[in-house]
């Protein structure tokens, strides 16, 4: 395992202001203040943490995959990548990453995509878009399905093939891998700890993640 930012990787666990373990399939919603650092830990490895970001000062201004990819000059995110909103406003910056690569293209699983990719029998299965919508609707009644913008899949391995296709592969992450991001501006973070049972991104076995927050 490569620690890409050794200074920040040494954050003291006792100094956290928040520490929660999310079982597979559970969601999480939280507003980060500027300067706060969020760490997501892939506790057992090979898990996918589907994550949405919104400008907390203007919830209509969501994370933009296109702006972020343009700023990063890369479709994969790692230390140094800045996650940018539709308006161009910077939301959070990745400040440490022991996994090394996070997906911007694969999107979140849904009842519809499950039936297309796998079989019609998967229609009632728990999926990330339903988790996102439930959390957002509880948070603020202004949210609708139109706010389910493209998301980031932390720890997920979605390589682009030479002919331009996407494949879902076994994860590049390992037990204990983590990614840390520091809020540049006040940012609403919504995570669906993916319950997917039908593809190898999480080894067909969804597992817990841990979320930790430091004040600086």
Scanning 66-74, 75-83, 127-135, 175-183 for contacts with Zn ion by CB under 5 A, the matching segment is: 127-135
We find the least distance from the C-beta atom of residue 157 to Zn ion, in angstroms, to be 14
User: Which residue, 49 or 212, has its beta carbon nearer to Zn ion?
Assistant: 49
Q: Which two three-digit tokens encode residue 28?
A: 């999480």
Residue 128 in contact with Zn ion, rule: CB under 5 A: yes
Q: Token pair 């597979």 is at which residue?
A: 24
User: Which residue, 90 or 203, has its beta carbon nearer to Zn ion?
Assistant: 203
Answer for which of 72, 99, 109, 191 binds Zn ion (CB under 5 A) is 109
We find the least distance from the C-beta atom of residue 215 to Zn ion, in angstroms, to be 30
Residue 196 in contact with Zn ion, rule: CB under 5 A: yes
We find the least distance from the C-beta atom of residue 67 to Zn ion, in angstroms, to be 23
Q: Tell me which residue of 72, 69, 70, 89 sits closest to 80, measured CA to CA.
A: 72
User: Which residue, 9 or 198, has its beta carbon nearer to Zn ion?
Assistant: 198
We find the least distance from the C-beta atom of residue 12 to Zn ion, in angstroms, to be 32
Residue 152 in contact with Zn ion, rule: CB under 5 A: no
# of chain residues touching Zn ion (CB under 5 A)? 4
Sequence-ordered list of residues with C-beta below 8 angstroms from that of 1, at least 6 positions apart, any chain:
98, 174, 176, 177
User: Which residue, 68 or 196, has its beta carbon nearer to Zn ion?
Assistant: 196
SS (H, E, C) 28-78: EEEEECCCCEEEEEECCCCCCEEEEEEECCCCCCEECHHHHHHHHCCCEEC
Residue 133 in contact with Zn ion, rule: CB under 5 A: no
User: Which residue, 79 or 110, has its beta carbon nearer to Zn ion?
Assistant: 110
Scanning 11-19, 128-136, 145-153, 181-189 for contacts with Zn ion by CB under 5 A, the matching segment is: 128-136
Q: Taking the alpha carbons of 112, 117, 123, 128 in that order, is the dihedral positive or negative?
A: negative
Provide the H-helix boundaries in the chain.
6-9, 65-72, 111-117, 128-139
How would you class 144 by CB atoms within 10 Å of its CB: exposed for 0-12, middle for 13-18, buried for 19 or more? exposed
Residue 194 in contact with Zn ion, rule: CB under 5 A: yes
Conformation bin of residue 56: beta by default, left when phi > 0, alpha when psi is -120 to 50:
alpha
User: Which residue, 185 or 210, has its beta carbon nearer to Zn ion?
Assistant: 210
Contact residues toward Zn ion (CB under 5 A) are: 109, 128, 194, 196
């Amino acid at each position: 395992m490569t620690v890409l930012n050794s200074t920040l990787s040494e954050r003291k666990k006792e100094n956290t202001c928040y520490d929660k373990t999310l079982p597979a399939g559970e969601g999480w919603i939280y507003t980060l203040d500027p300067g706060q650092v969020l760490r997501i830990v892939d506790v057992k490895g090979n898990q996918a943490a589907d994550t949405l970001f919104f400008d907390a000062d203007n919830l209509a201004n969501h994370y933009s995959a296109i702006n972020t990819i343009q700023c990063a000059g890369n479709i994969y995110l790692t230390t140094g990548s800045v996650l940018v909103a539709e308006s161009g406003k910077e939301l959070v910056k990745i400040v440490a990453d022991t996994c090394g690569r996070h997906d911007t293209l694969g999107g979140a699983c849904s009842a519809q995509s499950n039936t297309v990719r796998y079989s019609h029998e998967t229609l009632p299965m728990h999926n990330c878009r339903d988790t996102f919508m439930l959390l957002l609707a509880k948070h603020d009644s202004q949210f609708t399905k139109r706010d389910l913008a493209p998301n980031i899949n932390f720890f997920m391995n979605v390589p682009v093939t030479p002919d331009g296709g996407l494949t879902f592969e076994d994860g590049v992450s390992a037990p204990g891998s983590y990614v840390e991001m520091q809020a540049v501006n006040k940012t609403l973070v919504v995570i669906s700890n993916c319950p997917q049972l039908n593809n190898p991104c999480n080894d067909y076995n969804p597992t817990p993640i841990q979320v930790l927050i430091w004040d600086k």
